[in-house]
Amino acid sequence: MGCGKSTVGSALAEELGWAFTDLDAEIEREHATTISRIFDERGEPEFRRLESEALKRAVRSVQSGRPQVISLGGGAFLSEENYRLVLDNGVAIWLDCPFERIERRLAGASHRPLARDPQRLRELFDLRRESYARAEYRVPVDSDEARATVARILALELI
């Protein structure tokens, strides 16, 4: 959350000439509501279920020959099923952004339900790092310039 997945993912897809799928945006479009409202009205477990379903649809699209960059929500990679689905059908890249940069980016972001409490945000950051580290590639995000991060990704020797 706040590391630039959507911005970097969109820029990477444009550079590659691929489609771009932001799972959060897909969920909001499909359910005609915001992620924040889904969390508030249905709870995080229901959101995670919707997120997994959206990921499965995106992967089916990749499997049918439509290459794309998929931006996963911050908690999607924590699910073992989602993790396997990603690794079995693509390349996982962790945008490793320092907490201070994330905190600055998310300051006052009431539309992000898990970032409303700064202490909880820090706990999630620390808790999730181990799962994110399972990604095949780690790309440090040390700039707010998306193109710089895209260049780092394109410089990787991807599988």
Asked if 27 and 50 count as a contact pair (C-beta separation under 8 A), the reply is: yes
What number of other Cβ atoms are within 10 A of residue 44's Cβ? 13
pTM of the model: 0.85
- Is-contact 106 57, C-beta < 8 A? no
How many domains does one find in the chain?
1
Say if residue 159's pLDDT is above 60: no
Token pair belonging to 120: 């909880």
- Interval 120-130: pLDDT, tens: 778 888 888 88
- The boundaries of the domain holding residue 83 are 5-150
Tokens of residue 152, six digits: 């780092």
- 155 within domain boundaries: no
- CATH number for position 30: 3.40.50.300
* Domain-located, residue 72: yes
What digits encode the pLDDT tens for the residues 70-93?
Answer: 999 778 888 999 999 999 999 999
